[in-house]
Structure 1
């Protein structure tokens, strides 16, 4: 395997490791951390390792150049504290994010190839973490083992050199939008699904976090907005982001599950010129939910961290005089882990975001792609669509797609013909890039995000929040959501605020931690510039909402009995009972750089609208001015839907393709 960091870059990584862990009892050496990072980044596709390598030079220069490398860990720790940990300079705050890379190299330490090789993993043992195979399940518990027979077979997926020359319909993308479209269209046409990533059936998924994040995510999970303020998580594999999400299935509006005073998404769309037929759309929701076996999760799968959020919210709401709090649903998530009658319940191992190795989550490769394949569709992996190929316009002056140009792993390009049409469903950013390269105007504008921010709490007793479903419960506050979540060690370490011994101490308390996050909408504030997402939070809209949501979650943690709360602020401060919570966030968050933000739900960019001047696609998701090109992913959302996007993306795809649009 290649080593992406040269000797000087490796020396900088080693010095950074020794500075960040100065005074800490490390269980592996700094040289081993560097070797771990070489291994992890050696599995990345794309330019992210090169980008990180170049940033290391700048970090080293700003920390003292050769002196940082030569004067030892104590001197280096002082420089890191002064220039990175305590700085409020935007550049320094961006560079400070390199700490997450170092922590991933330490807490992502992995021995051998399988779980059993890590029974004596010194890093995992030090924080009290047990791998799933080490956990003892009692009577009535779901066994941690494979539920067989659900996966798309590897033989059902074509290698790049097996691509056909001509098909009826080409579907670009195999995630939530593409797979549903392919299943519907394959009942009427010869369909080819083209996916840029590789195929990872359940048997190929492991609990080696560093490997799975490198393989399953765009940019290995390090994709960011242009200014690095927001991390954007997206899948890069057959099945798309449904492979790496938590299976959450929320409608935009559903009695008893949605705050009664929350923005009405369908009403917003109608006001913007993009109405949906509510009866048809709800039928699409129902069809998807039925196929995926969506139902509320078993409460034992979230008995620790999930229950913590519900208990904390109940205590907080009971003491609140705000009617918005009183009206907030606080519930267990509904997910596509079932149906329970098949004994296919989630095994709640806590690793949803790096893929389910047990075949229990019904992602697209366990459901709609299988349906598409059963109807004769072909699925082509590791092939990137560059642009749509056009013929002369038809008699009505509309552009007619005749195929796509693809880039293969060896760097060669070829054309695959389509006799009926093309469906674009590669996700908000990739779909926008493809359409832009294809000459479609107005793409990549009005992008929305559901933005997440974690808050960790130290509890007085053992929580073992890692021994359950990663995300089990939620509160819909109307203007934002609170969601329970907990991560395996490598991912948790990158989210954990704090520096030096503070960070290490918090990780040593891993089994006493509870965690949840806020999810708030940032509506139509983004656009693509040079293919990268430009996204800024407004001082008078998103930033006050961010502060208020974090303050609420902090109070919920304390109401549930937390001793300390660690909000994800760059400088890593602590909140204790009696602190002025509102003042803390008012002073601590002045801009997005001050806090750790991420999004797994990019939306918009190719929004629906009846008016071609206001949207890229029409009300049937057909690209304006074209005869046979549809877009069926979240990029069609006219405004932010506020809740987790998986189910609505699938429903939109079903809404657009159930009636055979290529007749």
Structure 2
């Protein structure tokens, strides 16, 4: 493989790294950081590598002539003037390079005998600098869960196909192995159909997963966790591996409008769907939730697994709400998350290592690759073809004049193309972006429209010494508050991910990271309903200035006040300029001035949905209420892309329930 960067780009990256650490002590050299960046993009490759090359060239031009030859102080000054403090959208986009540099510093990993070798990293200089300890070396006492692997849940490698073992035809071809695809594949395989599951990403069972964050994001995430909207306002995290995003998420399981766990003033999601022409049998849908809950062992997590950062949010919320004049705050729901980890209160419960987002190395997550996929393969004969892209659906005309899927054209790992016949039907479940692209390539009209995002942004809080404990030594996300029109969710990340989210520049950023054991963190989650579309294969998404930005400001201000109510000394909201908020400030006024547009704040989403919405009328949706593509006889879509409007909560469980609702309550092809 050719080197991802040329000599000039490497020289610029080194100069940029040195400047971003101006007046900060580096535990590894700038050359080593550049080597880490190079290794990451060599693995990611593709269009994302092309984008970063272009960004490096443009940024070097913006930072002025002979940037790499200027002294470090001058380089830092230029970065501050032209990137950190700029209100020019293009320059703000370039400023996001800082996150890559900081991630590749704090994600440093010492080479070992085995990939992810923790022993070789016992004295990792970056970990030592911030006071972080890898899971293998953490002391666990009485009543604590040992950090050990649970075996026996993984997919049998014999059920993984390659080009040589791929058949010419199957009854049903399922495209995508994540929350929607896995449940749908199991549902139709259990009805006796011969099922092929096609997955674009690699097969990465738990024993292959490790705590080398940079390596895991390169291998398990789409575009190495660097996928963005076309305007670069949003980072969109999606899994790209067998099991999909269920392999790399926090396992949060929330139903829509669940009594006692949803704010009573929250929008009634199913009623809203019905109002736009997408009626759902709510009782049947909740029965599908129940079935998924039983198989995945979904239950509220154990408090010991989120013992530091989790109570911080709950305690802060109760203190804040006690003095709030808003009656809506009094009706808010503050609780522990339910998850598909473990299940809880068993010997296989979550070991709360804190690395959920880069995969569970201990086999304790009850994701699709530990439940529905092995069940479908072992019990019902399904087979999985990883590393393979579904290029398009090939049609024939049914006797009633509608289109009928005859086959799927696949692109195998070696780049060769093969046509595999689908005797009975096709199920599309690649996620909002991938499913929209596939359906569009297959000449289905109206795809990729009215995409919704649940949008997240973090606020980090510095706590007094000795208060709260090490938030990195626990479950990444433990508690939440449903405020009605937005959620607050506790979260804490391992070093690489935390560094990319931590606001601040230069020595300020380094100081915040060196307080790794003193900070707590949470994020907001608010719905942006039907603001986007998939065009030319990419997500175009724009917040509404009149509706979304005021909600964003209010949610960020509320979370900041909650941190202060919990005892925080200062807060670091994820603002591009890296400002600090202190208790004496007018928090509402601060955010009113600090967030004028989406570029002023770091925004992300792990929950894109919509794009191929359910609707009774084919003029307003891509699939009918049974999730069958309008105008076709035998093609279903069973992922979050069929959601007609934003569901406002984490999407995993609802996506699984939708797939069950569409495929497992009866034969969807009859």
Q: Do the two structures share a fold, i.e. TM-score over 0.5?
A: yes
User: Which sections of structure 1, spanning at least 5 residues, go unmatched?
Assistant: none
Q: For 1:71 and 1:44, locate their aligned partners in 2 and report how far apart those are by CA, in whole Å.
A: 31
Query: Do the aligned residues in 1 keep the contact of 2:343 with 2:350 (CA within 8 Å)?
Result: no
Measured on the aligned residues, the alpha-carbon RMSD in Å equals 0.9
Query: Do the aligned residues in 2 keep the contact of 1:153 with 1:201 (CA within 8 Å)?
Result: no
Matched, 1:95 2:94: yes
1:553 is matched with which residue: 547, 559, 562?
559
Secondary structure in structure 2 of the residue aligned to 1:261:
coil
What pairs with 1:106-125 in structure 2 (closer than 5 Å)? 106-113=105-112, 114-125=117-128
2:498 is matched with which residue: 485, 492, 495?
492
1:222 Cα shift?
0.2
- Could you give the per-residue CA deviations for residues 154-192 of structure 1, whole angstroms, max 9, x where no partner exists? 332112443211000000000000000010100220000
Q: For 2:606 and 2:165, locate their aligned partners in 1 and report how far apart those are by CA, in whole Å.
A: 32
Task: Name the residue aligned to 1:357.
Answer: 361
Query: Do the aligned residues in 2 keep the contact of 1:603 with 1:636 (CA within 8 Å)?
Result: yes
Task: Name the residue aligned to 1:5.
Answer: 5
What pairs with 1:58-137 in structure 2 (closer than 5 Å)? 58-65=58-65, 67-113=66-112, 114-137=117-140
Matched, 1:662 2:669: yes
1:317 is matched with which residue: 317, 321, 341?
321
Matched, 1:177 2:180: yes
Stretch of structure 1 that moved more, 189-198 or 56-65:
56-65
User: Which sections of structure 2, spanning at least 5 residues, go unmatched?
Assistant: none
Q: For 1:3 and 1:303, locate their aligned partners in 2 and report how far apart those are by CA, in whole Å.
A: 44
Matched, 1:285 2:289: yes
> Residue 38 and residue 161 in structure 1: after superposition, are their counterparts in 2 closer, same or farther (change >3 A)?
farther
Secondary structure in structure 1 of the residue aligned to 2:513:
helix
Task: Name the residue aligned to 2:143.
Answer: 140
Task: Name the residue aligned to 1:422.
Answer: 426
- Could you give the per-residue CA deviations for residues 521-571 of structure 1, whole angstroms, max 9, x where no partner exists? 000010112111110001111100000000000000000000000000000
Task: Name the residue aligned to 1:377.
Answer: 382
1:290 Cα shift?
0.4
Q: For 1:169 and 1:89, locate their aligned partners in 2 and report how far apart those are by CA, in whole Å.
A: 50
Q: For 2:324 and 2:615, locate their aligned partners in 1 and report how far apart those are by CA, in whole Å.
A: 41
2:344 is matched with which residue: 340, 343, 366?
340
Query: Do the aligned residues in 2 keep the contact of 1:160 with 1:381 (CA within 8 Å)?
Result: no
1:45 Cα shift?
4.2
- Could you give the per-residue CA deviations for residues 124-155 of structure 1, whole angstroms, max 9, x where no partner exists? 10000000011000001011010111111233
Query: Do the aligned residues in 2 keep the contact of 1:348 with 1:468 (CA within 8 Å)?
Result: yes
Secondary structure in structure 1 of the residue aligned to 2:46:
coil
Matched, 1:504 2:510: yes
Q: For 1:155 and 1:94, locate their aligned partners in 2 and report how far apart those are by CA, in whole Å.
A: 45
Q: For 1:288 and 1:51, locate their aligned partners in 2 and report how far apart those are by CA, in whole Å.
A: 39
Task: Report how many aligned residue pairs link the two structures.
Answer: 661
Secondary structure in structure 2 of the residue aligned to 1:371:
helix
Q: For 1:327 and 1:290, locate their aligned partners in 2 and report how far apart those are by CA, in whole Å.
A: 29
1:2 Cα shift?
4.9
Task: Name the residue aligned to 1:570.
Answer: 576
Query: Do the aligned residues in 1 keep the contact of 2:300 with 2:344 (CA within 8 Å)?
Result: no
Secondary structure in structure 2 of the residue aligned to 1:510:
coil
Stretch of structure 1 that moved more, 514-523 or 111-120:
111-120
Q: For 1:163 and 1:142, locate their aligned partners in 2 and report how far apart those are by CA, in whole Å.
A: 42
Query: Do the aligned residues in 2 keep the contact of 1:159 with 1:382 (CA within 8 Å)?
Result: no
Query: Do the aligned residues in 1 keep the contact of 2:150 with 2:362 (CA within 8 Å)?
Result: yes
Query: Do the aligned residues in 2 keep the contact of 1:160 with 1:382 (CA within 8 Å)?
Result: no
2:199 is matched with which residue: 186, 195, 205?
195
**Structure 2-normalised TM-score?**
0.98
- Could you give the per-residue CA deviations for residues 99-120 of structure 1, whole angstroms, max 9, x where no partner exists? 0111112111100230110111
What pairs with 1:145-294 in structure 2 (closer than 5 Å)? 145-187=148-190, 188-294=192-298
What pairs with 1:527-606 in structure 2 (closer than 5 Å)? 527-606=533-612
1:627 Cα shift?
0.2
**Structure 1-normalised TM-score?**
0.99
What pairs with 1:632-643 in structure 2 (closer than 5 Å)? 632-643=638-649
1:501 Cα shift?
0.5
